[in-house]
Amino acid sequence: MSKEYLNQILEQEEHADKIKRDGLIESKRIVSEATDEAAALIEKARLEADASYKGTLANANEEAMADYDKTISQAHWECDMLLDSAEKNLDKAISVIVGKVVN
């Protein structure tokens, strides 16, 4: 074989080795970028989930307070009705009691 032919083969092997090294560097860069992007997506999802959780909790709290206020209002109304009814019957009850005591 000629020296020129051997030099060409060596150059081609060096070129192939450079392509392999460059490919390895590029693949590491791609993996690093993908890892960074995945971490960013995970953090974004975590923040969105946290915001959604807090929003849902706030809405549930508002609904619970509205239900509580409605229940308390209804209970006050029922107590007022019972009190009115009792006051209306108070004179009648006194008359019945006095009538039984006197007789």
pLDDT digits over 34-71, tens only? 999 999 999 999 999 999 999 999 999 999 999 999 99
- What one-character DSSP code corresponds to residue 68? H
**pLDDT for the residue numbered 1:** 60
**pLDDT for the residue numbered 101:** 76
More confident residue, 87 or 55: 55
**pLDDT for the residue numbered 85:** 87
**Rounded distance, CA 83 to CA 13, Å?**
103
Q: What is the pTM of this model?
A: 0.56
**pLDDT for the residue numbered 92:** 82
Element at 47 (helix H, strand E): helix 3-102
**pLDDT for the residue numbered 103:** 67
**pLDDT for the residue numbered 66:** 97
**Rounded distance, CA 56 to CA 49, Å?**
10
User: Residue type for 24, please?
Assistant: L
Query: How many whole angstroms from its chain centre is CA 68?
Result: 24
**pLDDT for the residue numbered 41:** 98
